[in-house]
């Protein structure tokens, strides 16, 4: 089973790779036309040398609503294949051009490839105003000539199909160049009879676009571009014109009647417009998405009182005195000194006090000696002298028990525990939201107010 799957996968990959190597593409000369206007579908592909390309045959239509006017002959120049289809359509809206198939025969291999799907937008008729927008007059006296497009159409008609098929691409190109040279030479001999003898300029006219108009005398005197379907031309090839004669007239295009666009709805036109909108206004869509996400966040937070994004909740640290008092209460309840563990009793007692000092004042009391702790409270941390004496008694007695193996009396053990409780209670931090602390703060403020009132009376 695994071998079959692997084999099938290799075949698919090989087929895809071979299809991709042909690099086929199809383009419309104009993807938007007026009803009945003509345009070209140009197909190109990379093919192996000496290969034969069989194109899809059409009758009157390429597909639904797309009419075929002319099926131009395919060309292969080395490894470059090209072919054009002249088409038109009389149905307004977005018309879909189905993929066109090609068969490429190279030796014993035959591959079938397809172009991509194309979209042709057909607009209603455009009305032309009867009032001319601009009229072009000759600025010089001379002869009217038009560009010849390099005689490309004449050359293709001149060479028979049998000759094209029997020649290689390079030989056929050489033949085209030779015929073109002869046609330009013949054209130059005709033009020179008018007195226009500049061979270089004659060559440029012969290779110019057929919509290009020239007025010549000894040289090219002026050049114009005739736009085609919306122009009215009053001169012909070889006509002699004088300065001020009319050459052609441009007409103003009226606004399109909106009623002409009331065509039946179709999905092809809808998706065409959607695709065009997204490709043009992608940045606007991005802004809308970001704004929508922000609005959702604000509404969700306002409605639920919390962020939709899960947050890590940090448990607030307990006050230092609460932890210390709990530890001292545990030591008192265990009474390990009564079981002969006097040293352990004083170690636990001073450790609880040292930890409290470290958390309460932010000093490393757990790693300090007794004298260092006492020096800090004498010089830096202000506390009552009674609390200093309580702290000294606890620490010095514990040092005597731990290092001098001193055996304290029962009253000494109780005194150290009582001093530890009193030290923590007297030096603990006052929390403002603590009800007891609030009462104390209120009493202090009341005393201040009463004192101020008494001072005012005395004054």
- Domain boundaries of the chain, sorted by first residue: 18-123, 128-253, 320-427
pLDDT of 18 strictly over 80: no
Q: What is the pLDDT of residue 316?
A: 67
Q: What is the pLDDT of residue 17?
A: 44
Q: What is the pLDDT of residue 146?
A: 92
Q: Given pLDDT bands bounded at 50, 70 and 90, which one contains residue 147?
A: very high
pLDDT of 276 strictly over 80: no
Q: Name, in order, each residue with C-beta under 8 angstroms of 351's C-beta and a sequence gap of 6 or more.
A: 366
Q: Which helix (H) or strand (E) holds 55?
A: strand 52-55
pTM beyond 0.75, yes or no: no
Q: Given pLDDT bands bounded at 50, 70 and 90, which one contains residue 56?
A: confident
Instruction: Produce one character per residue of 103-131: b if its CB has 16 or more CB atoms within 10 Å, e if not.
Output: ebeeeeeebebebeebbbbbebebeeeee
Helices 320-334, 410-427: inter-axial angle, 10-degree rounding: 160
Mean pLDDT to the nearest integer, 397-420: 86
Q: What is the pLDDT of residue 438?
A: 47
Q: What is the pLDDT of residue 77?
A: 84
Q: Which residues pair with 240 in a beta bridge?
A: 143
Q: Could you confirm whether domain 18-123 is CATH 2.60.40.10?
A: yes
């Amino acid at each position: 089973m695994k071998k079959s799957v692997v084999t099938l996968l290799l075949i698919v990959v090989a087929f895809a790779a071979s299809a991709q190597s042909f690099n086929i593409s199809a383009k419309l000369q104009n993807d938007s036309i007026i009803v009945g206007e003509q345009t070209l579908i140009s197909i190109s592909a990379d093919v192996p040398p000496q290969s034969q390309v069989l194109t899809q045959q059409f009758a009157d239509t390429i597909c639904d609503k797309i009419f075929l006017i002319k099926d131009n002959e395919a060309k292969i120049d080395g490894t470059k294949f090209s072919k054009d289809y002249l088409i038109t359509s009389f149905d307004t809206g977005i018309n879909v051009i189905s993929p066109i198939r090609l068969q490429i025969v190279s030796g014993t291999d035959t591959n079938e490839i397809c172009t991509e799907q194309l979209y042709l937008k057909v607009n209603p008729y455009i009305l032309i105003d009867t009032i001319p927008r601009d009229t072009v007059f000759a600025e010089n006296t001379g002869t009217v000539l038009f560009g010849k497009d390099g005689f490309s159409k004449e050359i293709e008609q001149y060479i028979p199909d049998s000759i094209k098929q029997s020649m290689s691409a390079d030989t056929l190109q050489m033949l085209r160049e030779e015929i073109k040279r002869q046609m330009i030479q013949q054209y130059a001999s005709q033009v020179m009879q008018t007195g226009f003898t500049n061979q270089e300029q004659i060559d440029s006219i012969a290779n110019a676009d057929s919509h290009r108009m020239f007025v010549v005398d000894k040289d090219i005197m002026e050049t114009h571009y005739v736009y085609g379907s919306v122009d009215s031309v009053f001169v012909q090839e070889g006509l002699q014109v004088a300065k001020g004669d009319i050459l052609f007239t441009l007409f103003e295009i009226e606004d399109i009647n909106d009623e002409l666009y009331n065509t039946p709805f179709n999905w092809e036109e809808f998706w065409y417009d959607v695709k065009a909108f997204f490709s043009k206004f992608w940045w606007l869509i991005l802004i809308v998405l970001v704004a929508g996400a922000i609005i959702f966040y604000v509404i969700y937070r306002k409605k639920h009182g919390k962020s939709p994004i899960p947050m890590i909740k940090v448990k607030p640290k307990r006050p230092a005195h609460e932890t210390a008092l709990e530890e001292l209460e545990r030591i008192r309840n265990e009474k390990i000194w009564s079981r002969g563990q006097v040293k352990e009793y004083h170690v636990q007692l001073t450790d609880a006090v040292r930890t409290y000092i470290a958390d309460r004042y932010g000093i490393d009391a757990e790693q300090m000696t007794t004298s260092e702790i006492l020096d800090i409270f004498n010089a830096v941390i202000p506390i009552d002298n009674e609390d200093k004496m309580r702290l000294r008694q606890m620490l010095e007695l514990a040092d005597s028990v731990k290092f001098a193996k001193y055996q304290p009396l029962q009253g000494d053990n109780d005194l150290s525990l009582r001093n530890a409780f009193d030290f923590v209670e007297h030096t603990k931090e006052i929390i403002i939201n603590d009800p007891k602390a609030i009462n104390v703060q209120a009493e202090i403020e009341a005393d201040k107010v009463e004192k101020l009132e008494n001072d005012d009376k005395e004054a």
